[in-house]
């Protein structure tokens, strides 16, 4: 069954090309759809199809005119060569000459798969496909849909990423349609790709072979098979004047609309730096994004935060990277701060793409992290059901120059309970709420070097000291701000008593905010 979709938005702008979009199941490939794709390609048309790396924009690699159309549809500079995709190893000999001996070993290990190798080109490959070069890049993809399309097209399909030049590469058919609907003949939709980053490019015309673009097949993996390989030094350098050896690598690829800034340091420092940057942006009313990981996402409270995958398995990060960058394009954030990843294994490819997306803008976490005397402020009351949570909520609503985690604990919390209802009623009338609060017992874990402990009454301070010893961060609220106003305990009394208590706490907490804001100026 062939279904057709029309993209009026794009048609109106660029003319009237109808883009056929076909769903296709990898496990049960519809031969009719593949035959149609093959026919379009043989005629010199453009078909986007899934590969295990990213979606490719297919054209017949042996037709000069088809290459030209590819460059036009992508808006890609024509000196940026295309990769020729084959489905059968014997076909390599038809497009490449002087193939070095290690090729067989590499192909045996990594083909079909996310590896592109560069050879001297044969006469059948037009210069249009190779961007005028005498070398040709060849890959044998593993994706069954890709292989079927290549065979149906006659065996040689050039397939750069199916995105508008300069946008993040497409990892879903939806991404392809966003960029190219109305400009190409067909899109085959087989869902989300597996790897999510473009193939590793290995130049076989030099000895030892050299990695020109890092990908899922890593330097470590090559070394295990053929011994040492070179790595193009320009791949991760910042303002290197040297031209990269892979022509495409000189362009600012993979770029989101917002400025992407990579924050580098040890992970703890990166988190602190990004938190501070995000908090500063929040106070200034600027919208920013944060690229976080499964392990760190809960540490960020401000900005649009995206979990890009788990550090335990960096393949998940590779798979999500371009989607996350595209999602940020939908949010109108003005800057995106990203954590960084170790440059080893697939991390090298992830950092390479991030660096390119960032146009090499990085900041050192330790250079941006401002010293902060306290990072957490914990109010301590008896039962953690009224005065402590009220003080915490009041402080959260004040304009603080630095970001603090603000919470509360009780010295006698027998079981977790919601906040006192009268306290909540008073807070609501002041347009705040304790609805998210659950009382928690104070314990030794609360006594951290970066935590300011403020007790409501003297008795809680004394109890902490008698149980855990003297601690320099433990004060009564009054003591810390140099005040003596008694904080009444409204427990068991009418609502009005809670109202009075609120008034007192509000005055003291405002003074507290002034005091901690004065630290921010000193620091
Ligand atoms: P894409 O198809 O978007 O993944 O980009 C293909 C990339 O492969 C180009 O941007 C080049 O960097 C690289 N490439 C293709 N052919 C050659 C070649 N003959 N020599 C060096 N690099 C190449
Ligand atoms: Mg590309």
Atom of ligand 1 minimally distant from the CA of 160: 2
Mark whether 358 and 426 lie in a shared domain: no
3-state secondary structure of 56: strand
Atom of ligand 1 minimally distant from the CA of 56: 2
Tell how far the Cα of 77 is from the centroid of ligand 2, in angstroms: 11
pLDDT given at position 48 = 98
Query: Which residues have CB under 8 Å from 200's CB, separation 6+?
Result: 114, 115, 116, 211, 213, 214, 215, 216, 217, 218, 349
Read off the pLDDT band of 359 (50, 70, 90): confident
DSSP codes, 204-246 = TTSSS-EEEE--SS-HHHHHHHHS--EE-GGGT-SS--SPPSS
Mark whether 41 and 144 lie in a shared domain: yes
In the predicted structure, residue 119 carries a pLDDT above the cut 60? yes
Tell how far the Cα of 381 is from the centroid of ligand 1, in angstroms: 65
Read off the pLDDT of each residue in 229-233 and give the average, rounded to a whole number: 89
Read off the pLDDT of each residue in 228-241 and give the average, rounded to a whole number: 68
Atom of ligand 1 minimally distant from the CA of 135: 19
Percent of the chain whose pLDDT exceeds 90: 86
Query: Which residues have CB under 8 Å from 197's CB, separation 6+?
Result: 53, 54, 169, 215, 216, 318, 321, 322, 346, 349, 350, 353
Read off the pLDDT band of 78 (50, 70, 90): confident
Read off the pLDDT of each residue in 129-155 and give the average, rounded to a whole number: 97
Range of the domain at 274: 259-368
* Closest among 105, 114, 344 to 217, alpha carbons compared: 114
pLDDT given at position 128 = 94
pLDDT given at position 1 = 39
Which phi and psi angles does 136 have, rounded to 5°?
Answer: -130, 140
pLDDT given at position 256 = 80
In the predicted structure, residue 39 carries a pLDDT above the cut 80? yes
In the predicted structure, residue 481 carries a pLDDT above the cut 80? yes
Higher-confidence position of 452 and 5 = 452
pLDDT given at position 253 = 63
In the predicted structure, residue 210 carries a pLDDT above the cut 90? yes
pLDDT given at position 423 = 98
Q: Total domain count for the chain?
A: 3
Residue range 165-198, pLDDT digits in tens: 888 999 999 999 999 999 999 999 999 999 999 9
Residue 106 lies in a domain: yes
- Which of 55, 81, 245 to mutate to test ligand 1, by most ligand atoms within 8 A of the CB atom? 81
Residue 245 lies in a domain: no
Mark whether 76 and 130 lie in a shared domain: yes
In the predicted structure, residue 202 carries a pLDDT above the cut 50? yes
Torsion of Cα atoms, 374 then 377 then 380 then 385, to 10°: -170
Tell how far the Cα of 305 is from the centroid of ligand 2, in angstroms: 26
Query: Which residues have CB under 8 Å from 259's CB, separation 6+?
Result: 334, 335, 336, 358, 359, 361
Atom of ligand 1 minimally distant from the CA of 161: 3
pLDDT given at position 9 = 40
Mark whether 402 and 495 lie in a shared domain: yes
* Closest among 310, 308, 313 to 325, alpha carbons compared: 308
Residue 179 lies in a domain: yes
Read off the pLDDT band of 249 (50, 70, 90): low
C-alpha 379/C-alpha 387 separation (Å) is: 9
pLDDT given at position 7 = 42
Residue 167 lies in a domain: yes
* Closest among 498, 377, 513, 381 to 430, alpha carbons compared: 498
Question: Which residue owns the Cα nearest ligand 1 atom 5?
Answer: 160
Read off the pLDDT of each residue in 382-410 and give the average, rounded to a whole number: 96
Tell how far the Cα of 334 is from the centroid of ligand 2, in angstroms: 24
Residue 208 lies in a domain: no
* Closest among 349, 359, 357 to 196, alpha carbons compared: 349
C-alpha 255/C-alpha 445 separation (Å) is: 43
Residue range 321-336, pLDDT digits in tens: 999 999 999 998 999 9
Compute the mean pLDDT over every residue in the chain, rounded to the nearest whole number. Answer: 92
Residue given tokens 């992830």 in the structure block: 350
What's the distance, CA 171 to chain centroid? 14
Residue 243 lies in a domain: no
Mark whether 409 and 462 lie in a shared domain: yes
C-beta separation of 341 from 358 below 8 A: no
Mark whether 398 and 477 lie in a shared domain: yes
Which ligand has the minimum distance to the alpha carbon of residue 125?
1
C-beta separation of 453 from 465 below 8 A: no
Q: Is 359 left (phi over 0), alpha (psi -120 to 50) or beta?
A: left
Read off the pLDDT band of 16 (50, 70, 90): low
Atom of ligand 1 minimally distant from the CA of 137: 16
Tell how far the Cα of 80 is from the centroid of ligand 1, in angstroms: 6
Which ligand has the minimum distance to the alpha carbon of residue 234?
1
Atom of ligand 1 minimally distant from the CA of 121: 19
In the predicted structure, residue 398 carries a pLDDT above the cut 70? yes
pLDDT given at position 360 = 79
In the predicted structure, residue 111 carries a pLDDT above the cut 90? yes
C-alpha 427/C-alpha 499 separation (Å) is: 9
Read off the pLDDT of each residue in 495-503 and give the average, rounded to a whole number: 98
Mark whether 138 and 269 lie in a shared domain: no
Tell how far the Cα of 201 is from the centroid of ligand 1, in angstroms: 8
Domain-terminating residue out of 149, 176, 198: 198
Beta-strand pair 230-231/210-213: parallel
Read off the pLDDT of each residue in 130-149 and give the average, rounded to a whole number: 97
Mark whether 383 and 364 lie in a shared domain: no
Read off the pLDDT band of 162 (50, 70, 90): very high
Query: Looking at residue 513, which CATH number applies to its domain?
Result: 3.40.50.2300
Residue 470 lies in a domain: yes
Pocket of ligand 1 from Cβ distances under 6 Å: 80-83, 118, 130, 133, 135-137, 160-161, 198, 201, 212, 246-249
* Closest among 6, 70, 3 to 36, alpha carbons compared: 3
What's the distance, CA 371 to chain centroid? 27
Mark whether 48 and 72 lie in a shared domain: yes
Tell how far the Cα of 401 is from the centroid of ligand 2, in angstroms: 43
Residue 205 lies in a domain: no
Question: Which residue owns the Cα nearest ligand 1 atom 10?
Answer: 248
Mark whether 159 and 268 lie in a shared domain: no
- Which of 58, 73, 80, 349 to mutate to test ligand 1, by most ligand atoms within 8 A of the CB atom? 80
C-alpha 304/C-alpha 381 separation (Å) is: 34
3-state secondary structure of 166: coil
C-alpha 98/C-alpha 205 separation (Å) is: 9
Which ligand has the minimum distance to the alpha carbon of residue 249?
1
Read off the pLDDT of each residue in 416-436 and give the average, rounded to a whole number: 97
In the predicted structure, residue 243 carries a pLDDT above the cut 70? no
Q: How far is CA 296 from CA 98, 291, 340, 354, 368, in A?
A: 49, 10, 12, 18, 19
Angle CA 343–345–351, to nearest 5: 40
Atom of ligand 1 minimally distant from the CA of 247: 12
Mark whether 419 and 480 lie in a shared domain: yes
Read off the pLDDT band of 255 (50, 70, 90): confident
- Which of 247, 253, 322, 349 to mutate to test ligand 1, by most ligand atoms within 8 A of the CB atom? 247
Question: Which residue owns the Cα nearest ligand 1 atom 15?
Answer: 81
Model's pTM, two decimal places? 0.85
Domain-terminating residue out of 368, 396, 423: 368
Mark whether 38 and 126 lie in a shared domain: yes
Count of residues in the chain: 523
Read off the pLDDT band of 154 (50, 70, 90): very high
Q: Is residue 11 within a helix (H) or strand (E), and if so which, with residue range?
A: helix 8-14
pLDDT given at position 157 = 98
């Amino acid at each position: 069954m062939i279904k057709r979709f029309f993209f009026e938005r794009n048609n109106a702008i660029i003319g009237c090309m109808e883009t056929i979009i076909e769903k296709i199941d990898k496990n049960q490939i519809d031969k009719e759809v593949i035959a149609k794709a093959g026919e379009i390609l043989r005629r010199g048309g453009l078909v986007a199809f899934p590969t295990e790396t990213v979606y490719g924009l297919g054209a017949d690699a042996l037709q000069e005119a088809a290459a030209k159309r590819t460059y036009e549809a992508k808006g890609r500079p024509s000196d940026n060569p295309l990769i020729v995709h084959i489905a059968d190893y014997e076909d390599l000999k038809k497009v490449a000459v002087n193939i070095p001996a290690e090729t067989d070993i590499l192909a045996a290990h990594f083909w079909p798969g996310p590896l592109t190798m560069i050879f001297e080109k044969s006469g059948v490959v037009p210069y249009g496909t190779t961007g005028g070069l005498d070398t040709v890049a060849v890959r044998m993809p593993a994706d069954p849909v890709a292989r079927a399309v290549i065979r149906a097209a006659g065996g040689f399909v050039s397939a750069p990423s199916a995105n508008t030049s300069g946008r993040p590469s497409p990892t879903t058919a939806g991404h392809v349609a966003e960029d190219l609907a109305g400009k190409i003949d067909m899109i085959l939709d087989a869902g989300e790709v597996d790897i999510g980053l473009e193939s590793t490019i290995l130049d076989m015309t030099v000895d030892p072979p050299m990695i020109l673009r890092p990908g899922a097949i890593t330097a470590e993996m090559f070394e295990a098979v053929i011994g040492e390989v070179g790595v193009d030094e320009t791949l991760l350098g910042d303002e290197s004047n040297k031209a990269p050896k892979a022509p495409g690598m000189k362009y600012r690829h993979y770029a989101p609309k917002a400025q992407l800034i990579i924050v580098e340091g040890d992970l703890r420092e990166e988190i602190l730096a990004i938190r501070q940057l995000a908090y500063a942006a929040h106070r200034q009313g600027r919208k920013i994004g944060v690229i976080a990981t499964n392990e760190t996402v809960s540490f960020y409270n401000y900005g649009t935060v995206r979990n890009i995958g788990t550090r335990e398995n960096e393949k998940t990060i590779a798979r999500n990277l371009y989607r996350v960058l595209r999602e940020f394009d939908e949010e109108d954030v003005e800057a995106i701060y990203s954590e960084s990843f170790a440059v080893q294994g697939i991390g090298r490819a992830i950092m390479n793409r991030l660096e390119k997306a960032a146009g090499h803008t990085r900041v050192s976490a330790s250079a941006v992290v401002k010293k902060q005397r306290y990072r957490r402020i914990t109010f301590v009351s008896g039962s953690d059901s009224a005065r402590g949570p009220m003080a915490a909520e009041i402080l959260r609503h004040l304009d603080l120059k630095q970001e603090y985690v603000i919470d509360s604990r009780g010295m006698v919390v027998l079981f977790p309970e919601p906040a006192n209802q009268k306290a909540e009623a008073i807070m609501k009338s002041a347009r705040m709420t304790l609805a998210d609060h659950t009382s928690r017992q104070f314990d030794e874990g609360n006594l951290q070097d970066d935590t300011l402990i403020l007790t409501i009454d003297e008795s809680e301070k004394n109890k902490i000291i008698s149980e855990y010893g003297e601690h320099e961060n433990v004060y009564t609220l009054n003591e810390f701000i140099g005040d003596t106003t008694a904080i009444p305990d409204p427990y068991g009394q009418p609502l009005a008593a809670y109202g009075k208590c609120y008034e007192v706490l509000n005055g003291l907490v405002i003074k507290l905010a002034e005091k901690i804001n004065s630290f921010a100026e000193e620091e």
